[in-house]
């Protein structure tokens, strides 16, 4: 059969992300793929240099539309380290609470996208229905569904009383039932497995070579999780498991992500149960002492790393962001080699692309 | 065989329950939307509390606020809703607690006149 | 991983290993918050140092490469600028290798031979800062348009950023 | 006069059009409800149809204009012709010995037209979709045909009316041949390219399949042909497997027929809610390794019992 070049993206129903692929297809087989990035490159790193530390929080919140909170958290941690601020434990707990809620939100959203791409609209609708619980909690907590604007340099700007905490705990119970039910579906539903097993396989060696992070790495058997490995407060006081799978295919990634969502529900509950009393923020100076800092956090998609250099003014001299999507993008040509045309959407959604993150 | 049964059993009860439970979504403009108290909606101001210090303007990441000083004690605070990112930084920066977000869900403006809103106009 | 006593142990081991292997080269060692060891070295020693990291210390995870324009204190380059490349490694603690390149036609050996995952980071630095990576298999712009023929946009960022925000 | 009434109003074009709109709405509504959504209002399919009719008809460069316009019309015409021979509540516009074969043939024509729509288009998605539709056709058609042949064998007639009448004496063939009924349902899903067998037009894989380049009036006709095909297919299955019954004789024929048709529609809706889309090679495997042998088994058993 003759070769066809199938363009996918930057706008395509397969891929709701501004990323362009040119797939060379023989019949139903993909033989070659070429990728083009940069459709949503906004020059955020450059913009950061022209704005104050305070303004940058809101700019960096918009790096990603899903894991917005973890970006500002990582940035604030870097700036706080430069300023030598010691954060009150309540602030750390509240930050972690939102990080975990965001992780559930991200994984539910991802499950919906995957289900949609394999033509399983019911799971798509259910996953997004249950994600709505998380969004409600976050909206109630912070005033925004995805752009929370919770972090300030020196802490957080939200607080919650006991009544609010009990409401959240109740909502978490409901959420846990739903997420565990979804986990059961992912584990047992056979048509879903038929479409995701053995697709987009990355071996442990591949993952290490390409320095892949997050659920994609964990689904290939690499046990990394910065929450645990970096011993960040308050995660060092929490009990949770880091799900790891060794199949390395999309199904393993699905399992890892949904299990992580379950673990995150447990984590949220622990955070709320052990929420220390006290202030939620400390006063931060406007001018940050000169120096440089590197901070890392575990975003829903994996390691986020920020490098911030200050020259002593109220503007950062350099902010470098590395988002986890960039690490999985580099594996895509490997994953796309010799798959069926029908599986392209599964492979692409399997790594949980966020092109806005990658392009910045 | 057992696996095949579980495969069907995991989804069917939920689907049938859903059939009789009724929709969980709301047809938005007609249905009742659940908007929490603390939702960051439109930006409002207690005009009498504003002192024209300009802290909100300094911290606004989207340049949505503008302070026009016209001599001693005379100033105008302008707000450009189309630039606003609804981040609430101005609310946080405001030391006299004049600026605040209400929880109205529809943030956009309906007419050209509203593209520039005069929040405060103080005549000396 | 990461007990308090263990902090920065890898960084110390790396510097130790490098001093033994290359006795006549000077390394500067710093710490960055939060607990990140920075080893500043000549560009020619980058590949051997990464080999020490990978083979002797078992660190293989390159988090990212940061490029940064710094004012040249020694006045070595004509532009008065230095390009600093920071290779952030991670293995339960952070280790950063730093090389400083002259601002005029900066060039360094690629890391993709050892770590294929470095390819995109190097491409990004190539387009944003104009650093050439010798031996990179596919040195094309990553984000910028194909027909971009202006100078690398992040290159003179310090000066331009200062101008943009109206600083003197 | 009567013939004209039967052709144009009942059970001809008018009735079929109403049914197509109604079934489309019920289907969408039921699926929406299984997914806890509200679903469209009752006039949505009609509104979609009228909207498409009013839309600009974008012509693709490099496509044979007559062919592009002709294919949806051929598709619609063959479905309408097939509908003439499918009785509704015991009333058919025409009926003669062997009409089942004619109906089966006529119902295959839209699949061919669909493939050709992809083939004549220069768009890559259309071409891939066209290939897929042909592959899918080969996978479902054989078991579907065989499943529909077994009632005819058992009733000893290739006339749909006689098969319906036969069930009045015996019982529903769905009860005698549950396997055949199941295969016919699966075959029908494949024929109608519904979820989970919407492989040729899977949005997340090949955009709109062969119909990617279609728009406006032609698209409206395509949609109408598809919707009507759904109705005719369901009616055919009702006649062949859920025909007359001694126990339901007292009830008026038409509502009973409607209830049976709705029951099958509900089965189809449930199938689309409950399964993920298969890949084309998985469907080919399913078709030839599972469905075809089972259908063969069904026919052999029928021949052995009934022959």
Residues of A in contact with C158 (CB under 8 A): 49, 317
> What is the predicted pLDDT for the residue at C1?
34
> What is the predicted pLDDT for the residue at D25?
93
Asked if D190 and D144 touch (Cβ cutoff 8 Å), the reply is: yes
Nearest to C61 among A211, A230, A293 (CB): A211
Q: C144, A209: Cβ pair inside 8 Å?
A: no
Inter-axis angle of helices A89-117 and A121-142, nearest 10:
160
D75: Cβ–Cβ under 8 A, 6 or more apart, which residues? D109, D110, D113, D114, D221, D222, D225
Number of Cβ within a 10 Å radius of residue C86: 23
Cα separations in angstroms, A226 against A256, B14, C111: 16, 36, 24
Determine the Cα–Cα distance for residues D87 and D90; give it in Å rounded to an integer: 5
Q: D205, A189: Cβ pair inside 8 Å?
A: no
Cis before A10 (ω within 30): yes
Nearest to A231 among C2, C88, C119 (CB): C2
CB burial readout A111-143, b (16+ within 10 A) else e: bbbbbbbbbbbbbbbbbbbbbbbbbbbbbbbbb
What domains sit in chain A, N to C, each tagged with a CATH number? Answer: 41-359 (1.10.645.10)
The backbone torsions φ and ψ at residue B45, rounded to the nearest 5 degrees and listed phi first, read: -145, 145
B29 touches chain D (CB under 8 A): no
Cis before A234 (ω within 30): yes
Determine the Cα–Cα distance for residues C52 and C48; give it in Å rounded to an integer: 6
Query: Distance (Å) from the C-alpha of residue D196 to the closest C-alpha of chain B?
Result: 15
Q: Could you tell me the pLDDT band of residue A190, with boundaries at 50, 70 and 90?
A: confident
Asked if A178 and D262 touch (Cβ cutoff 8 Å), the reply is: no
B29 class by beta-carbon count within 10 Å (0-12 exposed, 13-18 middle, 19+ buried): exposed
> What is the predicted pLDDT for the residue at C77?
43
Sign of CA dihedral B31, B36, B40, B45: positive
> What is the predicted pLDDT for the residue at C156?
63
> What is the predicted pLDDT for the residue at C166?
54
Residues of C in contact with A216 (CB under 8 A): none
Determine the Cα–Cα distance for residues C6 and C9; give it in Å rounded to an integer: 5
Q: A345, D205: Cβ pair inside 8 Å?
A: yes
A211 touches chain C (CB under 8 A): yes
> What is the predicted pLDDT for the residue at C78?
47
Which of A7, A132, A88, A67 lies closest to A284 in space, CA to CA? A88
Q: What angle do CA A248, A204, C140 make, to 5 degrees?
A: 95
Asked if C109 and C133 touch (Cβ cutoff 8 Å), the reply is: yes
Q: Could you tell me the pLDDT band of residue C71, with boundaries at 50, 70 and 90?
A: low
What's the token pair of residue A247?
């199949």
Strand pairing category for A302-310 and A291-299: antiparallel
D274: Cβ–Cβ under 8 A, 6 or more apart, which residues? A122, B8, B11, B12, B15
Strands (E), chain A: 3-8, 20-26, 29-36, 151-152, 155-156, 291-299, 302-310, 316-322
Q: C116, A294: Cβ pair inside 8 Å?
A: no
State yes or no: pLDDT of C2 exceeds 50: no
B59 touches chain A (CB under 8 A): yes
> What is the predicted pLDDT for the residue at C163?
56
Query: Distance (Å) from the C-alpha of residue A117 to the closest C-alpha of chain C?
Result: 26
State yes or no: pLDDT of C162 exceeds 60: no
Mean pLDDT of C138-166: 69
Q: A143, B101: Cβ pair inside 8 Å?
A: yes
Cα separations in angstroms, D280 against A23, C59, D182: 18, 44, 20
How many Cβ pairs closer than 8 A exist between chain A and D? Answer: 88
Nearest residue in A to C96, CA atom: A294
Coil, strand or helix: which one is A186?
A: helix
Chains D+A touching (3+ CB pairs under 8 Å): yes
Nearest residue in A to C160, CA atom: A50
Beta bridge pairs of residue A316: A310
What domains sit in chain C, N to C, each tagged with a CATH number? Answer: 4-156 (3.30.460.80)
Coil, strand or helix: which one is A33?
A: strand
Asked if D197 and D140 touch (Cβ cutoff 8 Å), the reply is: yes
- The DSSP code sequence of A263-304 is HHHHHHHHHHHT---S-SB----SSPPSEEEEEEEEETTEEE
What range defines the domain where residue D111 resides? 14-306
B60-103 per-position pLDDT tens digit? 888 888 888 887 778 888 888 888 888 888 888 888 888 888 88
HSE-up (13 A, CA, CB side) for residue C147: 0
B14-67 per-position pLDDT tens digit? 888 888 887 888 877 777 777 888 788 888 888 888 887 888 888 888 888 888
Query: Given a contact as 3+ CB pairs under 8 Å, which chains touch B?
Result: A, D
Cα separations in angstroms, C127 against A43, A109, C133: 12, 33, 11
Residue D8 lies in a domain: no
Residue D130 lies in a domain: yes
The backbone torsions φ and ψ at residue A214, rounded to the nearest 5 degrees and listed phi first, read: 75, -160
> What is the predicted pLDDT for the residue at C80?
61
Asked if C104 and C79 touch (Cβ cutoff 8 Å), the reply is: yes
Determine the Cα–Cα distance for residues C89 and D195; give it in Å rounded to an integer: 48
Residue D2 lies in a domain: no
A291 class by beta-carbon count within 10 Å (0-12 exposed, 13-18 middle, 19+ buried): middle
> What is the predicted pLDDT for the residue at C5?
41
Beta bridge pairs of residue A297: A304
> Which ipTM value was assigned to this complex?
0.82
A104-138 per-position pLDDT tens digit? 999 999 998 888 888 888 888 888 888 888 988 88
What domains sit in chain B, N to C, each tagged with a CATH number? Answer: 38-124 (3.30.70.3270)
C87-132 per-position pLDDT tens digit? 888 877 788 888 888 777 788 888 888 888 888 888 888 888 888 8
D258: Cβ–Cβ under 8 A, 6 or more apart, which residues? D89
Residues of chain D short of pLDDT 50, as ranges, are none
Cα separations in angstroms, B113 against B75, B81, B110, C133: 20, 11, 9, 54
Cis before A134 (ω within 30): no
A285-339 per-position pLDDT tens digit? 888 888 888 888 888 888 888 988 888 888 888 888 988 888 888 888 888 888 8
Q: Could you tell me the pLDDT band of residue B108, with boundaries at 50, 70 and 90?
A: low
Helical H runs in C66-166? 119-129, 157-164
A53 class by beta-carbon count within 10 Å (0-12 exposed, 13-18 middle, 19+ buried): buried
D115-136 per-position pLDDT tens digit? 888 888 888 888 888 888 888 8
> What is the predicted pLDDT for the residue at D280?
83
A336-360 per-position pLDDT tens digit? 888 888 888 888 888 888 888 888 8
> What is the predicted pLDDT for the residue at D26?
92
Inter-axis angle of helices A68-83 and A53-61, nearest 10:
160
B12 touches chain D (CB under 8 A): yes
Report how many domains make up chain D. Answer: 1
A338 class by beta-carbon count within 10 Å (0-12 exposed, 13-18 middle, 19+ buried): exposed
How many Cβ pairs closer than 8 A exist between chain A and B? Answer: 70
Query: Given a contact as 3+ CB pairs under 8 Å, which chains touch C?
Result: A
Residues of D in contact with A125 (CB under 8 A): 35-37
Asked if A232 and A297 touch (Cβ cutoff 8 Å), the reply is: yes
Inter-axis angle of helices A250-273 and A89-117, nearest 10:
150
């Amino acid at each position: 059969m003759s070769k066809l070049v199938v363009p996918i993206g930057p706008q395509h129903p397969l891929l709701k992300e501004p990323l362009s692929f040119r797939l060379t297809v023989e019949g139903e087989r993909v033989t070659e793929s070429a990728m083009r990035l940069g459709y949503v490159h906004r020059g955020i790193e450059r913009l950061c240099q022209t704005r104050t530390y305070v303004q940058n929080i809101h700019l960096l919140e918009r790096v990603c539309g899903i894991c917005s909170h973890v970006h500002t958290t990582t940035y604030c941690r870097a700036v706080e380290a430069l300023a030598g601020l010691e954060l009150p434990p309540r602030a750390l707990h509240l930050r972690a609470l939102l990080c975990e809620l965001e992780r559930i939100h991200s994984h539910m959203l991802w499950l919906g996208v995957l289900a949609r791409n394999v033509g399983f609209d019911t799971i798509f609708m259910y996953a997004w229905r249950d994600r709505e619980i998380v969004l409600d909690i976050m909206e109630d907590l912070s005033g925004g569904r995805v752009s929370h604007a919770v972090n300030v340099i020196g802490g957080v700007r939200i607080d919650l009383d006991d009544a609010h905490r009990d409401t959240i705990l109740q909502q978490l119970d409901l959420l846990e039932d739903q997420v565990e039910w979804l986990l059961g579906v992912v584990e047992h539903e056979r048509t879903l497995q038929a479409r995701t097993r053995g697709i987009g396989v990355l071996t442990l060696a591949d993952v290490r070579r390409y320095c892949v992070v997050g659920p994609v790495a964990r689904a290939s058997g690499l046990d990394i999780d910065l929450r645990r490995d970096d011993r960040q407060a308050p995660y060092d006081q929490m009990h949770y498991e880091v799900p790891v799978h060794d199949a390395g295919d999309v199904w393993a990634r699905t399992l890892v992500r949904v299990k992580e969502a379950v673990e995150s529900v447990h984590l949220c509950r622990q955070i709320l149960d052990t929420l220390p009393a006290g202030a939620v923020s400390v006063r931060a100076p406007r001018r940050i002492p000169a120096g440089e800092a590197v901070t890392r956090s575990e975003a829903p998609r994996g390691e986020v790393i920020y490098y911030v250099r200050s020259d002593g003014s109220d503007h950062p001299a350099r902010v470098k962001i590395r988002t986890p999507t960039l690490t999985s993008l580099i594996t895509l040509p490997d994953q796309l080699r010799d798959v069926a045309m029908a599986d392209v959407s599964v492979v692409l959604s399997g790594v949980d692309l966020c092109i806005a993150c990658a392009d910045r | 065989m057992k696996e095949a049964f579980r495969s069907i059993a995991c989804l069917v009860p939920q689907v049938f329950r859903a059939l009789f439970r009724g929709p969980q979504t709301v047809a938005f403009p007609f249905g009742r939307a659940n908007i929490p108290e603390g939702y960051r909606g439109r930006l409002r101001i207690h005009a009498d509390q504003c002192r024209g210090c300009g802290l909100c303007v300094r911290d606004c990441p989207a340049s949505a606020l503008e302070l026009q000083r016209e001599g001693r004690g005379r100033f105008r605070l302008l707000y450009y809703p189309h630039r606003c990112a609804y981040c609430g930084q101005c609310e946080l920066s405001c030391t006299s607690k004049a600026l605040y977000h209400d929880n109205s869900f529809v943030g956009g403006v309906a007419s050209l006149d509203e593209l520039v809103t005069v929040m405060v106009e103080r005549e000396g | 991983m990461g007990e308090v006593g263990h902090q920065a142990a890898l960084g110390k081991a790396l510097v130790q290993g490098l001093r033994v292997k290359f006795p006549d080269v000077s390394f500067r060692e710093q710490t960055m918050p939060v607990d990140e060891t920075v080893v500043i070295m000549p560009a020619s020693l980058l590949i051997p140092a990464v080999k020490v990291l990978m083979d002797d210390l078992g660190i293989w995870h390159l988090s990212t490469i940061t490029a940064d324009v710094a004012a040249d204190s020694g006045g070595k380059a004509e532009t008065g600028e230095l390009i600093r490349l920071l290779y952030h490694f991670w293995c339960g603690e952070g280790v950063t290798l730093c090389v400083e390149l002259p601002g005029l036609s900066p060039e360094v050996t690629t890391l993709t031979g050892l770590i294929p995952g470095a390819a995109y980071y190097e491409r990004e630095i190539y387009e944003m800062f104009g650093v050439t990576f010798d031996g990179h298999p596919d040195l094309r712009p990553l984000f910028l348009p194909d027909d971009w023929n202006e100078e690398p946009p992040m290159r003179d960022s310090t000066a331009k950023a200062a101008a943009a925000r109206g600083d003197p | 006069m009567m013939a004209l009434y039967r052709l144009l109003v009942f059970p001809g074009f008018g009735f079929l059009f109403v049914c197509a709109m109604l079934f489309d709405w019920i289907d969408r509504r039921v699926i929406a409800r299984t997914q806890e959504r509200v679903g469209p209002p009752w006039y949505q399919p009609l509104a979609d149809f009228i909207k498409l009719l009013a839309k600009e008809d974008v012509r693709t460069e490099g496509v044979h204009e007559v062919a592009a316009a002709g294919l949806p019309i051929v598709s619609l015409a063959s479905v309408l012709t097939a509908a003439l021979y499918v009785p509704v509540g015991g009333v058919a516009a025409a009926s003669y010995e062997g009409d089942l074969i004619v109906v089966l043939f006529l119902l295959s024509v839209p699949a061919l037209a669909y493939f050709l729509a992809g083939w004549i288009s220069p768009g890559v998605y259309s071409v891939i979709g066209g290939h897929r539709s042909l592959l899918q056709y080969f996978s479902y058609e054989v078991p579907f045909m065989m499943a529909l042949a077994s009632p005819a064998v058992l009733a000893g007639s290739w006339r749909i009316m006689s098969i319906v009448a036969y069930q009045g004496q015996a019982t529903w063939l769905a009860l005698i041949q549950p396997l055949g009924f199941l295969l016919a349902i699966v075959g029908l899903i494949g024929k109608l390219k519904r979820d989970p067998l919407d492989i040729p037009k899977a949005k997340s894989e090949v955009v709109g399949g062969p119909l990617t380049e279609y728009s406006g009036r032609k698209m409206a006709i395509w949609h109408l042909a598809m919707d009507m095909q759904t109705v005719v297919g369901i009616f055919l299955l009702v006649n062949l497997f859920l025909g007359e019954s001694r126990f339901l004789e007292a009830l008026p024929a038409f509502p009973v027929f409607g209830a049976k048709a709705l029951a099958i529609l509900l089965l189809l809706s449930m199938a689309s809610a409950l399964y993920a889309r298969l890949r084309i090679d998985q469907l080919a495997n399913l078709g030839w390794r599972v469905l075809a042998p089972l259908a063969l088994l069904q026919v052999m058993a029928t021949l052995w019992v009934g022959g």
